[in-house]
Amino acid sequence: MPARSVTLLSIAIWCVVTVLGAAAMRAEGVAARRATAAAQSDKNTPQSERQAPEGPENSTRPAPRPTFTRVATEEEKKAATGAIEAQLTAFRNNDYDKAIQFQSNTLRRNFDSVRQFREMIQQSYPQFARCRRVEFGATRSTEDGGALEVRAVVTGQDDRVVRATYVMVREGMEYRVQGVEGGRPFTVNTRDIL
């Protein structure tokens, strides 16, 4: 491949990744503004007029995303990342009975069996199922420390790298996985770019 083609391809890929990253950041900003507006609305609505919260027993919709207002303490970050690493180790060891225990109670109810959970992880999140390495980035917390947002970069056995944001919730004395945003391989068809 001529050097000019390689350069053009590199520029095209950089442009696509930049545009997608900007779109994701805009989406996060919109979601944060909506969450703030909803919280503000709840403050101004009398308790008697508020709708009952929709929990997992009333709805299949995911719980609203918590609002992260501060940097997590080292103790909070260590507890949350320890749970994530333990789950990734269980995935790598094909111990899904143990791995599912790191999911929140709410998330665990989405699966009829450990087998169904294993199939979902292996099909939808192969880099997590066969994680070779994980690196943690910024970790933010709700004001009370009841939920954390943990940014992670996961490298699979296939050397594919994915970025993910874990939402962890405190259940009892431990943090458990409430959800994972991202984490899926990003594929670019160069024919669509050039």
| Helix, coil or strand: residue 182 | strand
- CA 117, distance to chain mean position in Å, is 16
Q: What is the pLDDT of residues 49-90, one digit of tens each?
A: 334 333 333 334 556 778 998 999 999 999 999 999 999 999
Q: Do residues 167 and 147 lie in contact, with contact meaning Cβ atoms separated by under 8 Å?
A: yes
Task: Write the CA distances from 101 to 65, 72, 116, 121, 165, integer angstroms.
Answer: 21, 23, 14, 14, 19
Instruction: Tell me the helix, strand and coil percentages in the chain, rounded to 5.
Output: 50, 25, 30
Neighbour-count burial for 17-53, b at 16+ CB within 10 Å, e otherwise:
eeeeeeeeeeeeeeeeeeeeeeeeeeeeeeeeeeeee
Q: What is the pLDDT of residues 109-135, one digit of tens each?
A: 999 999 999 999 999 999 999 999 999
- The whole model's pTM is what? 0.64
The average confidence (pLDDT) of the chain is 76
176 closest CA partner among 63, 92, 70: 63
pLDDT of residue 192: 56
Q: What is the pLDDT of residues 18-57, one digit of tens each?
A: 444 444 444 455 444 555 555 454 444 443 333 433 333 3
pLDDT of residue 2: 54
Q: Which CATH number does 67-193 carry?
A: 3.10.450.50
51 closest CA partner among 167, 59, 34: 59
Residue 82, amino acid? G
Q: What is the pLDDT of residues 92-108, one digit of tens each?
A: 999 999 999 999 999 99
Question: Domain extents for the chain?
Answer: 1-51, 67-193
